[in-house]
Every structure is written in C-alpha cells, then in structure tokens.
Amino acid sequence: MEELCRKDLMKLIQSTNFMVIEMALYLDTHPQDACAMGTYQEYRRQFKRAVALYEKKYAPLTFYGVEDENGWSWGNEPWPWQKECD
C-alpha cells in the first residue's frame, strides 16, 4: 500500500469503501452471516489503513483527519466534483 501513488491510493480507498458499504447493507438484513462478517472486517481493515496513509501523506478526507503540522488544510485541496481530484 505504501508504494501506491496518490491516484491509486484514492482508488483503493474508494473501492474498499464501496465494499464496506455493500457488506454493511447486506449484514443489516443478514446479521448472522459469519462469512459476510469476515469479508466486512477485511475490507474495513484495508479501508482504515488506506485512509490513514492518505491523510498522512496527502490531504485530509474528513475534518477529523487534518494533520496538525499543516495547519487548517481542509480547504486546500480540490473538492470531489473538481476534476483534478479523481
């Protein structure tokens, strides 16, 4: 994961985030499915790791993730509808 460029790391965050959403919706109606729970845990682990790495290396993804040494950097980077961001 550490070797990924910014674009690929964002892609990993988006794809693991999608899997967390998909598994959460499935588990909402299948709470006893142990196999699905395992899949959820695996993607959640990857997602959290990727977000922590992205926020440390590049920019905050939530305003809980602002790196102190950068000051208030929440608005420094493009927003998701501004093409440069993808």
Partner 1 sequence: MWKYMKMLEYPVNIKTTNARLAMAIMSQLGGPDGEKGAATRYLSQRYAMPDNRVVGVLTDIGTEELGHEEMVSTIITQLTKNLTMDEIEQSGFYQYYVDHTTGIWPQAASGVPFSTATLQSTGDPIADLHEDMAAEQKARLTYDNILRLCRDEPDVYDAIKFLRAREMVHYQRFGESLRMLQDQLDAKNFYAYNPAFDKKAPCI
Q: Which residues bind partner 1 (CB under 8 A)?
A: 10-11, 13-14, 17-18, 21-22, 24-26, 28-31, 59-64, 77, 79-81, 83, 85-86
Residues in the chain: 86
* Least spacing, CB of residue 42 vs partner 1, in Å: 19
Q: Tokens for 54, please give them.
A: 């992205």
* Least spacing, CB of residue 83 vs partner 1, in Å: 6
* Least spacing, CB of residue 3 vs partner 1, in Å: 21
C-alpha to C-alpha distance for 58 and 6, rounded to whole angstroms: 7
Distances in whole angstroms, Cα of residue 56 to Cα of each of 30, 66, 74, 75: 35, 9, 13, 16
